[in-house]
Amino acid sequence: MKRAARRSASPEIVPSLLAADLAHLARDSAAAARGGAAALHVDVMDGRFVPNITMGQPVVASLRAATKLPLDLHLMIEEPDRYVEDFAKAGADWISVHVEACRHLHRTVSRIRSLGMRAGVAINPATPVGSLEDIIGGVDFVLVMSVNPGFGGQKFIPRALAKVRAVSELVARTGSSAEIEVDGGVGPDNIRELVVAGARWLVAGSSVFSGGDAAAAVRALRRRASGRPPA
């Protein structure tokens, strides 16, 4: 049985392991956990949907053995339906798939949920919020991409802030229980604005792992996200 997701109105930091030291994922995951990370974000890329190749099921299984934090898998892949069950067996807790990659999105989301995982739908920067209209009531979260997917370390696209607001309005208008996650260029300069706009799960990669002290970075981002003054 999968671990229950922690559903809270308070903002949560989800460190992206794409920016971690890939030779020491267990170490960096533990550091993020010490800082109060709510989950770990795992970017799965296939070199087709995006121009990069990253982690697969063996890495997810190794992470599952190394951490108790929920594993938040972002599938940036073609035909994600083919791999959902394998990732569930490897230990994923949440899976998000792209609107742009799914031919039968409702079926894919239903399959993710049937395997005991939280199901999310991701949208690229150029994808309109209207694409979520017919699925918003059936997902646990929406992942708003604030950079073009495929590579870490990119700059935040300012227009994404308005998109978060638009998704938040859609959630309220439809009575959906979906929460909003944001991924790409999230850091101390924009994290509070994203929370005010409606985001609850903040994926942060470089801003967590580039400074050498991931635990301290997560703690600092949590304070910023909550609107508290720096320690």
Tens digit of pLDDT for each residue in 78-122? Answer: 999 999 999 999 999 999 999 999 999 999 999 999 999 999 999
Is 46 known to be catalytic? Answer: no
Q: Is the pLDDT of residue 3 over 50?
A: no
Q: Which one of 72, 93, 140, 183 is the catalytic residue?
A: 183
Residue 153 confidence (pLDDT)? 72
Instruction: Give the pLDDT of residue 149.
Output: 79
Mean pLDDT of 206-229: 95
Superfamily for domain range 12-226? Aldolase class I (3.20.20.70)
d(CA 71, CA 43): 10
Which among 141, 57, 56, 138 has a CA at the least distance from the CA of 105? 138
Average pLDDT over residues 64-85: 96
Per-residue model confidence (pLDDT) at position 4:
37
Per-residue tokens: 105: 């999105």
Q: Which of 188, 192, 143 is nearest to 164 (CA)?
A: 143
Residue 8 has pLDDT above 70, yes or no: no
At 10-55, the pLDDT tens digits run 999 999 999 999 999 999 999 999 999 999 999 999 988 888 889 8
- One-letter amino acid of 26: A
Mean pLDDT, rounded, of the chain: 93
Q: What are 164-186's pLDDT values in tens digits?
A: 999 999 999 999 999 999 999 99
Residues 6 or more apart whose CB falls under 8 angstroms from that of 106 comprise 134, 135, 138
pLDDT category at 5 given cuts 50, 70, 90 is very low
The residue count for the chain: 231
Instruction: Confirm whether 183 is a catalytic residue.
Output: yes
pLDDT, tens only, 123-142: 999 999 999 999 999 999 99
Contact in structure between 26 and 67 (CB atoms under 8 Å): yes
Euclidean distance between CA atoms 72 and 70, whole angstroms: 6
Unique residue bearing structure tokens 């299984």? 61
Q: What are 112's two structure tokens?
A: 């993710």
pTM above 0.85, yes or no: yes
Q: Catalytic pick from 28, 43, 46, 140?
A: 43
Q: Helices 25-34 and 214-226, interaxial angle, to 10°?
A: 40
What separation, in Å, do the N-terminal and C-terminal C-alpha atoms of the chain show? 38
